[in-house]
Amino acid sequence: MIIKKTLQMAPPTCQILAILLILFFTSPSSVSCVQIQVNLSNDFTKDNLNSSCHSITGRDLGKRTMSPGTSFTWTTSEAWCCSLETDFDSERYGLFYMFNPKTDSTRCGKECRWSVRDDGIYLYIADAYDYVFQYKWGIWYCI
Ligand SMILES: *[C@@H]1O[C@H](CO)[C@@H](O)[C@H](O)[C@H]1NC(C)=O
Ligand SMILES: *[C@@H]1O[C@H](CO)[C@@H](O)[C@H](O)[C@H]1NC(C)=O
């Protein structure tokens, strides 16, 4: 929709807009400085979620046990990996990127909203107006 509208503008305006868009979205420095809020929600139907998150530079949020329906947030511009598992289930565990500047800066917007569910881990995608499945249980996506 936005693209269609810009194409209908007078050509000089459109070109300036395109240059600005290219500069904004492809310049690595502009992306890496942006502070993003990460929100992790336990959306299990009944189980507790144990989490332990660390950033690429060693920031550590410690171990947390979250009951169903609870969430917590933190703010960052660097990559984060979280170990997630249920209290007692042997199948729901793994290591997952909860923020990866390369892929998530644009698709998350200002907030990466993760929903941890019985069947996997979902991320809210603004363009889809919905949570979209991202990660399967039982896999170590990061270290
Ligand atoms: C995290 O996101 C959920 C879903 O939008 C929201 O209900 C919750 O309040 C948020 N948590 C925090 C701590 O902001
Ligand atoms: C989850 O955390 C609770 C509380 O710290 C602990 O008792 C339990 O053993 C943990 N479960 C797993 C699978 O690590």
Ligand 2 neighbourhood includes 85 CB (under 6 angstroms): yes
pLDDT at 29: 39
Question: Do 27 and 16 form a contact (C-beta atoms < 8 A)?
Answer: no
pLDDT at 90: 77
Ligand 1 atom having least distance to the Cα of 113: 2
* Nearest ligand, CA 69: 1
- Token digits for 96? 């997952």
Element (H, E) at 31: helix 28-33
Element (H, E) at 101: helix 101-108
Query: Could you tell me the end-to-end alpha-carbon distance of the chain, in angstroms, rounded to an integer?
Result: 39
pLDDT at 102: 86
Bridge partners, residue 73, by sequence: 39
pTM: 0.78
Ligand 1 neighbourhood includes 113 CB (under 6 angstroms): yes
Please report the domains of the chain, with CATH numbers, ordered by start residue: 1-32 (no CATH), 34-135 (2.60.40)
> Ligand 1 centroid vs 72 CA: distance in angstroms?
7
Element (H, E) at 49: strand 49-55
- Token digits for 19? 């240059």
pLDDT < 70 stretches in the chain? 1-33, 89
Closest C-alpha to ligand 2, atom 12: 87
- Write out pLDDT tens, residues 44-83: 999 999 999 999 999 999 999 999 999 999 999 999 999 9
* Nearest ligand, CA 131: 1
User: In the sheet that 80-86 helps form, which strands lie side by side, from edge to edge?
Assistant: 60-66, 49-55, 80-86, 93-99
- How many Å apart are CA 55 and CA 120, to the nearest integer? 22
